Amino acid sequence: MAAEQRAHALTHFALLLRLQYRAKSAYRADLALEIVSALLRQGTWLAFMLVLLRRTPVVDGWDTWKMVFLYGLATAPLGLNVLLFDGVWKLTELIRKGELDSLLLRPVDPVLHLYTRSVSLHGIGDLAIGILAMSLAAQHVPLRFGLWTLPLLVVCVVSGSVVYASVNLASAALGFWFRELHNVPFLVQQFTDLARFPLALYPPVLTAIFFFPLPFAFVTYLPTVLLTEGGSVWVVLTAPAAAAVIHMLARLGFRLGLRRYESAGN
Amino acid sequence: MYRGRYVVGVLISLVQITVLYYIWRAIMSGGQRHAGYDWPQMQTYLLLSFLLTLVLSFGTEERVSASIRDGSVSLELLKPVHYMTLRVTELIAALFVELLSVGLCLALFVSTVLPAVPPETGSRFLLVLSFLLAVALKATIAITTGVLCFWTTNVLGLIACRQALALMLSGAMFPLQMLPDWLHTVAYALPFQSFFNTPTMIYFGRVGTADAAGLVALQGAWLIALAGMTALLLNRGFRRLDSYGG
């Protein structure tokens, strides 16, 4: 029964996403603008690293290309997350306007429904820059696992997109309690910028944040260290584990928030 | 609650500058100099970058375009005030609030974590003028971005594009001297360097008085050019405006 329901949920998810994409692709200029803006935004940080590190090849034991690899591994799941789960950004608005009812009334998991509430194609730009950065870096950094790197990367990127989505869901769900602070998700989003650089640069308190409550370290920093320096392959498995745990917690937060939800009524 | 939102807004800029701060700190550890800056100077550089990002922040910029996107611009046109006057007054009002918070942040930072390096310029007058012009240029660009919404509803995309270009080519991330030569030339040919590079170059005494005056004049020229372009766009935009009324 449960398995069947899950299969249904996946079909629904795919269907809802497809509809959104069809609607979105009607606006060609907006689409192009979104992708260009993502390329520019990510390209800026990439250029920053290349310019800066041209003069200082090694920072705290991290050479330029290893940093570029980490940057890529952190940016690709960001893109995938935007492509699959971008509807989360609508949550604060739905709460404020009391329009969440329409999601709750349907016989589909409201979280899945929320995820597909909208899509942003700028994820294509993020994903492209992420893959580009990783493949550029792969030519300069010795990767310890040879061809096995590829499936390991896929695991990390997919788990990473779930981690990003869950963190966004949790921070948007704060809107149930603090209705007017609708820019908190943007603040959390900014932290993803920090997670794209070696955590060794930061003071321990800041590093700790990236294990919990924003567990980006498991999908970006730790896998990069593993893939470039070698070690137990089991480290990669912490990525899906972290994704599962944070997703459960985010859903829990969402459900707790729903109890406080007051509809606009009619 | 608006205050709460504003504080979160400040935190957003703070996180962004934190990335730059720690990367720079790692790079400059061991007393290295980059583009002629030592670490205390670089800290001040980043502080200036943070403060100038706070002035006319993202929220202000987005508000400018709101009336165009939701169509209420047609009501604004009925009023006996020119559209630009309206927007400029609005921005000035926002500016006062932001200057207050920038002042608070500045006082907080300088007295606690970051001891700032005093300006090393020969001409205080040019320094103040260049900061004022930088803010005026930012305001103009904000209005231009808003006006472009006559053609696209994707204001977030537009703002993101502009921010990305400005971040790198204004010198907010690193001194422009560090760019490869060709990109350096490109940066100087664009208006973005007038936002940040000009005032900081004068602040750190990197240019002589004559050169500083030239850079400030360039800021003025860009201000006039951009304001003219916005007026032109506005004119064309109003012609595109269909509104239902009654």
Substitution target in B2, B8, B20, B45 with the highest count of A β-carbons within 10 Å is B8
Substitution target in B10, B29, B42, B161 with the highest count of A β-carbons within 10 Å is B161
Inspect the interface and report whether the beta carbons of B152 and A34 lie closer than 8 Å.
no
Inform me whether the C-beta atom of residue B25 falls under 8 Å from chain A C-beta atoms: yes
DSSP letter (8 states) at residue B177: G
Neighbouring CB atoms inside 10 A of A241's CB total: 12
Which residues of chain B have a pLDDT value below 50? 246
Nearest to A226 by CA among A212, A237, A242, A213: A237
Question: What residue in B sits closest to A43 (Cα-Cα)?
Answer: B164
Question: What residue in A sits closest to B166 (Cα-Cα)?
Answer: A44
Judge contact between A114 and A91, C-beta under 8 A: yes
Please give the mean pLDDT across all residues of chain A: 86
| Residue A1 pLDDT grade (very low, low, confident, very high; cuts 50, 70, 90) | very low
Inspect the interface and report whether the beta carbons of B15 and A187 lie closer than 8 Å.
yes
| Tokens 């406080």 -> residue | A260
Nearest to B120 by CA among B52, B26, B232, B205: B205
User: Residue A80 has what pLDDT?
Assistant: 93
Inspect the interface and report whether the beta carbons of A37 and B160 lie closer than 8 Å.
yes
Tell me the pLDDT tens digit for each residue of A85-141: 988 888 888 888 888 888 888 877 888 888 888 888 888 888 999 999 999 899 988
User: Residue B121 has what pLDDT?
Assistant: 65
As a whole number of angstroms, the distance between CA A233 and CA A81 comes to 25
Substitution target in A25, A27, A37, A82 with the highest count of B β-carbons within 10 Å is A37
User: Residue A186 has what pLDDT?
Assistant: 85
Tell me the pLDDT tens digit for each residue of A146-194: 888 899 999 999 999 999 999 999 999 988 888 777 788 888 888 888 8
As a whole number of angstroms, the distance between CA B193 and CA B176 comes to 8
Label residues B4-37 b or e (16+ Cβ within 10 Å = b).
Answer: eebebbbebbbbbbbbbbbbbbbbbeeeeebeeb
Tell me the pLDDT tens digit for each residue of A9-51: 788 888 888 888 888 777 777 778 888 888 888 888 888 888 8
As a whole number of angstroms, the distance between CA B127 and CA B125 comes to 5
* Backbone dihedral region for residue A61 (phi beyond 0: left; psi -120 to 50: alpha; all else: beta): left
| Chain A positions in Cβ-Cβ contact with residue B170 (cut-off 8 Å) | none
Between residues A24 and A74, which one has the greater pLDDT? A74
User: Residue B165 has what pLDDT?
Assistant: 86
Question: What residue in A sits closest to B161 (Cα-Cα)?
Answer: A37
As a whole number of angstroms, the distance between CA A91 and CA A136 comes to 37
CA-based nearest distance B85→chain A, Å: 29
Question: What residue in A sits closest to B167 (Cα-Cα)?
Answer: A44
As a whole number of angstroms, the distance between CA A244 and CA B73 comes to 47
B-proximal residues of A, 54-113, CB under 8 Å: 55-56, 59-60
Q: How far is CA B219 from CA B55, B167, B198, in A?
A: 17, 17, 8
| Chain A positions in Cβ-Cβ contact with residue B156 (cut-off 8 Å) | 37
Inspect the interface and report whether the beta carbons of B163 and A190 lie closer than 8 Å.
no
User: Residue B23 has what pLDDT?
Assistant: 84
CA-based nearest distance B175→chain A, Å: 10
Please give the mean pLDDT across all residues of chain B: 81
Inform me whether the C-beta atom of residue A26 falls under 8 Å from chain B C-beta atoms: no
Inform me whether the C-beta atom of residue B164 falls under 8 Å from chain A C-beta atoms: yes
Q: Is B208 exposed, middle or buried (CB count within 10 Å of its CB: 0-12, 13-18, 19+)?
A: exposed
Inspect the interface and report whether the beta carbons of A194 and B18 lie closer than 8 Å.
yes
Peptide bond into A213 cis (omega under 30): yes
- Backbone phi and psi for residue B123, each to the nearest 5 degrees, phi listed first: -125, 105
At A63, which amino acid appears?
D
Inspect the interface and report whether the beta carbons of A44 and B167 lie closer than 8 Å.
yes
Inform me whether the C-beta atom of residue A190 falls under 8 Å from chain B C-beta atoms: yes
| Residue A72 pLDDT grade (very low, low, confident, very high; cuts 50, 70, 90) | very high
| Tokens 């089991």 -> residue | A234
